[in-house]
Amino acid sequence: MAENLSIFDISGRAMAAQLVRLNTTASNLANVGTVSGNESTAFRSMKPVFRTVMGEAGKATVQVDRIDNSKSAPVKRYEPDHPLADKDGNVWEAAVDSAAEMVEMLETSRQYQNNVQVLATAKGLISETLRLGQ
């Protein structure tokens, strides 16, 4: 799958991948503390899985391959008065580590910003090159 990838293609695809990563992290954070009436329907955090896309001359970028759910088990709590409690009085809290998700969000935001800076630098260099040619 050899493609001729420009710096704009590479950074644009990387930014799109980081946006998916940011959206899954936001969804994970939105579900912190949610409960379910059984273990199988309890929310589990999501993580995008990336794949390298190779271009011509060894250029590479990234693409989202799939989004996996965490294997972490939800936390079972005894709350017999909760409306979602099962017959034994248990509810299952979402398997999401809020601290890890915040770190993920900060890292994702920084990587997105790095790609914005790459695009701005490339645009500036092209503009300057065109100006020199006048």
62 domain residue, yes or no:
yes
Structurally, how many domains does the chain consist of?
A: 1
Per-residue confidence band for 3, with pLDDT thresholds at 50, 70 and 90: low
pLDDT above 60 for 2 = no
105 domain residue, yes or no:
yes
28 domain residue, yes or no:
yes
11 domain residue, yes or no:
yes
| 67: three-class secondary structure by DSSP | strand
User: What is the domain extent for residue 106?
Assistant: 7-33+46-68+97-132
- Edge-to-edge strand ranges of the sheet holding 90-93: 35-36, 90-93, 75-78
Determine contact, residues 114/121, Cβ cutoff 8 Å.
no
pTM above 0.75, yes or no: yes
Q: The tokens 């260099």 sit on which residue?
A: 125
Per-residue pLDDT reduced to its tens digit, 13-70:
999 999 999 999 999 999 999 999 999 999 999 999 999 988 888 888 899 999 999 9
- Read off the pLDDT of each residue in 73-87 and give the average, rounded to a whole number: 94
- Residue 90 is predicted with a pLDDT of 95
